[in-house]
């Protein structure tokens, strides 16, 4: 997929950006997108069954920690818990502690696992979620290395990434406004 490189102001001025993104710096925007992607990725992996990816499932603590049973609420709670975190490891830590999975494990489960229902559709996981995980890992790299000039292009790419039922950025509103829940 080829994207033209537009100035950051183009994306900041977009009306479909989450409202808490409208006036933030590149660094804040990259962190905000990273936090949201991480929350939704872990929420999605909470639906994993053993037959999706036995090796990763067996390492995970999704069922024993209670995460799988209440994955949406747990992922939202952890999102709000990490709103002030500016370090990639700090953002990932509560999810990793609760699920036993790193962000790379989540990506690998989506990329390499068997998520196909029937012959033609994915209800959970699969290649779309693997691409979302790749974007989150890309943002993690940008944040960790402080190569902020790369963030606008990747954030623009996030806007066209789809999960199994629509665009991932359309899910961002499910997290509610920043600071609403703490």
- Sequence spans of domains, the chain: 8-175
Q: Are 39 and 148 in contact (CB under 8 A)?
A: no
For residue 17, give both structure tokens: 């950006």
Q: Are 159 and 169 in contact (CB under 8 A)?
A: yes
Q: Are 157 and 3 in contact (CB under 8 A)?
A: yes
Q: Which pLDDT score, from 0 to 100, does residue 34 have? A: 98
Residues 6+ apart with CB under 8 A from 43: 71, 72, 74, 75, 76
Q: Which pLDDT score, from 0 to 100, does residue 181 have? A: 42
Residues 6+ apart with CB under 8 A from 117: 123
Instruction: Identify the CA nearest to 41 among candidates 121, 100, 104.
Output: 104
Residue count (the chain): 182
Q: What does the pLDDT profile of the chain (182 residues) look like in tens digits?
A: 333 333 333 333 333 444 344 335 999 999 999 999 999 999 999 999 999 999 999 999 999 999 999 999 999 999 999 999 999 999 999 999 999 999 999 999 999 999 998 777 889 999 999 999 999 999 999 999 999 999 999 999 999 999 999 999 999 999 965 434 43
Q: Are 31 and 82 in contact (CB under 8 A)?
A: no
């Amino acid at each position: 997929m080829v994207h033209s490189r537009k100035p950051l102001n183009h994306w900041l001025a977009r009306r479909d950006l989450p409202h808490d993104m409208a006036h933030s710096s590149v660094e804040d925007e990259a962190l905000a997108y990273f936090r949201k992607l991480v929350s939704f990725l872990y929420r999605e992996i909470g639906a994993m069954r053993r037959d999706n990816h036995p090796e990763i499932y067996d390492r995970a603590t999704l069922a024993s920690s209670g995460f799988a049973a209440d994955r949406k609420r747990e992922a939202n709670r952890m999102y709000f818990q990490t709103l002030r975190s500016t370090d990639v490891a700090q953002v990932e830590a509560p999810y990793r502690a609760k699920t036993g999975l790193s962000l790379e494990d989540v990506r690998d489960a989506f990329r390499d696992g068997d998520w196909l229902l029937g012959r033609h559709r994915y209800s959970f996981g699969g290649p779309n979620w693997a691409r979302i995980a790749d974007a989150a890992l890309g943002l993690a790299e940008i944040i960790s290395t402080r190569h902020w000039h790369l963030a606008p292009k990747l954030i623009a790419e996030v806007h066209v990434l789809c999960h199994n039922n629509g665009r991932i950025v359309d899910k961002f509103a499910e997290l509610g406004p920043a600071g609403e829940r703490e």
